[in-house]
Amino acid sequence: MKGRNPAAVSELTYTADEMMTVAAARALRDGMTCFVGIGLPSAAANLARATHAPGLVLIYESGTIGAKPAELPLSIGDGILAETADAVVSVPEIFNYWLQPGRIDVGFLGAAQIDKFGNINTPVIGGDYEHPRVRLPGAGGAPEIAASCREVIVVVRQTSRSFVERVDFVTSVGYGSGPGDRERLGLTGAGPKKIITDLGVLEPDPVTLEFTLTGLFPGVSAAAAKERTGWDLAVAPEPEIIAGPGPAELQALRNLHAGTSSATS
């Protein structure tokens, strides 16, 4: 895979996950500090650093600052992060010195459920907290990331089960129930600025803060996005049609995944 000509990458065919990852990577700017989660957020952040944002500073919860992995890490404890980092500090320092004082430009988060105000649920689905229908691994550092980063980008596949009118449990606060809630709760970060899905991009309405569909990926209709949303999704008058991945983006992303595959084989 690493030796292939970028111009010949599958004749520019790509998957929905690849489109989503590329769109998330494009949202990052060179020179930013980015708090990265494992999975799609990590793939997007590393893709950005490998393409248009070589000065992007990747910070992982395990304490690595300025990690530069050549392949995707398997977890926040993957040795490749420490081996390639500018510095390795303690977990309390990451949170107390870097995250909570607002020194991180952008946090990348995933979600099991997300609602129209960008509130995230990751530990339990259905029932109550003590007796849920499904219990998930939990939040980790996500609540602090959502509270304190200068902005947050959420990367999540869009289904009516994950995009719900009201989350079963609020793990990480987006905009609560609307304008004023973050301020009332004393949250210092600006909150979620984008939800990037496998269908397109949602952004908060400047007045109501309800997430609105503002961009669509090639071949996706607003009707399809509404059908896969558990609330009456608002749609911008003219959603942007977001360009598909370019050859260099696809090649770089597949190289990252190929390195991970060979390391686990």
Please write the tens of the pLDDT for every residue from 81-139.
999 999 999 999 999 999 999 999 999 998 999 999 999 999 889 888 888 899 988 88
Q: Is 20 exposed, middle or buried (0-12, 13-18, 19+ CB in 10 A)?
A: buried
Catalytic residue (one of 11, 18, 61, 227): 61
What CA–CA distances, in Å, run from 231 to 11, 139, 180? 37, 24, 22
pTM: 0.89
How high does pLDDT run on average in the chain?
A: 91
Q: Say which residue the tokens 């060179």 belong to.
A: 30
Q: What is the mean pLDDT of residues 147-176?
A: 95
Cα–chain center distance at 115: 15
Please write the tens of the pLDDT for every residue from 31-76.
999 999 888 889 999 999 999 999 999 999 999 999 999 999 999 8
Does 265 score more than 60 pLDDT? no
Residues 142/113, Cβ–Cβ less than 8 Å? no
Instruction: In whole angstroms, give the CA distance from residue 180 to residue 184.
Output: 6
Active site residue 61: yes
What pLDDT does residue 5 have? Answer: 46
Phi-psi region of 26 (alpha: psi -120 to 50; beta: other; left: phi over 0): alpha
Instruction: In whole angstroms, give the CA distance from residue 208 to residue 178.
Output: 6
Picking from 21-35, 72-86, 152-166, 248-262, which range would have the lowest pLDDT averaged per residue?
248-262
DSSP-derived letter for residue 153 is E
Q: Which residues pair with 234 in a beta bridge?
A: 212
What pLDDT does residue 262 have? Answer: 53
